[in-house]
Amino acid sequence: RCMYFRDTAMPCNKREPGTGCPAITGANRMLAILGTSEHCIATNPSDMCVAMVALEATIHVQGPNGARAIPIGEFHLLPGSTPNRETVLEPGDLVTHVTLPPPVAESRQVYLKLRDRASYEFALASAAVVITVAGGNVTRARVALGGVGTKPWRSPEAEAAVAGQPIDEANF
């Protein structure tokens, strides 16, 4: 969703490594604040992957060296010095399917997205949350953020903040 990536007249390390990232010093209202590097600050635009991080999905891949299963948290790469490489997929790899763990009866999940307009639009910020409740308290939480990072961003800090908390209006 980076406007510099989409503008072929502009240099872009993601599109053509080594050309630079004008977004770093340019207009960057909708670019990443988490997981950036000196080579790229483009936000990962996926809504689905944010939810898949919170749901702990597994990506199944078939490649020249056989089949493998990749936890979603390991699938996306930080830009580092190679922002043109967004995932751990190797040449010849094909995603065959995605699996989710079985649902837990005491768990609930939600995905919320803030955007500039109501129609199709990239998230300015989003959150996918899965919580498990027992005895009125949160026993487990998974929180993933979108629109703010170079990859779907898991937030262990937010998870820790709600763990053990009672489910009531004051906390939520």
Distances (CA, A) of 98 to 48, 71, 76, 115, 131: 12, 10, 14, 27, 21
Give the chain's domain count.
1
Taking the C-alpha atoms of residue 114 and residue 127, their distance in angstroms, rounded to an integer, is 9
41 assigned to some structural domain: no
148 assigned to some structural domain: yes
120 pLDDT higher than 80: no
Taking the C-alpha atoms of residue 101 and residue 124, their distance in angstroms, rounded to an integer, is 28
pLDDT, position 94: 98
67 assigned to some structural domain: no
Model pLDDT for residues 139-155, shown as the tens digit of each residue: 999 999 999 999 999 99
Model pLDDT for residues 53-87, shown as the tens digit of each residue: 999 999 999 999 999 999 999 999 999 999 999 99
Model pLDDT for residues 19-50, shown as the tens digit of each residue: 999 999 887 778 899 999 999 999 999 999 99
Q: Is the pTM of this model over 0.75?
A: yes
Domain of 137 in residue numbering reads as 107-162
Model confidence at 91, in pLDDT bands (50, 70, 90)? Answer: very high
The CATH number assigned to the domain holding 134 equals: 3.30.390.50
127 assigned to some structural domain: yes
